[in-house]
Amino acid sequence: MTASKSSRARQARAQAQRGQANSRNGTAVKPGTTVKPGTTVKPGATVKPGAAVKAGATVKADATVKAGSPVRAVATRGGGVDRRGSRLPAPMASADLEAPATTTVPVWFQLVTWVLSLAGLGVSIYLTIAHFTDKPLAGCSESGAINCTKVTTSPQSFVFGIPVAVLGLAFFIAAVGLMSPWAWRWARREVALIRIASLVVGIGFVLYLIYAELFIIGAICLYCTSVHAITFLLFVLTVFAAAAWGLPKRERG
Ordered structural domains, the chain, with CATH: 36-97 (no CATH), 107-245 (1.20.1440.130)
> How many residues make up the chain in this entry?
253
CA separation for the pair 210, 181 (Å, rounded): 30
pLDDT of residue 134: 85
pLDDT of residue 19: 53
pLDDT of residue 75: 39
DSSP, residue by residue, 58-103: EE-TT-EE-TT--B-----SS-EE-TT--EE-HHHHS---PPPP--
pTM of the model: 0.59
Q: Is 49 helix (H, G, I), strand (E, B) or coil?
A: coil
The DSSP symbol for 148 reads H
Pick out the chain residues at pLDDT < 50. Answer: 1-3, 21-23, 25-29, 31, 44, 50, 52-53, 55-83, 86, 88-103
pLDDT in tens, 141-150: 777 889 999 9
CA separation for the pair 217, 24 (Å, rounded): 102
Angle at 162 between CA 156 and CA 165, to 5 degrees: 70
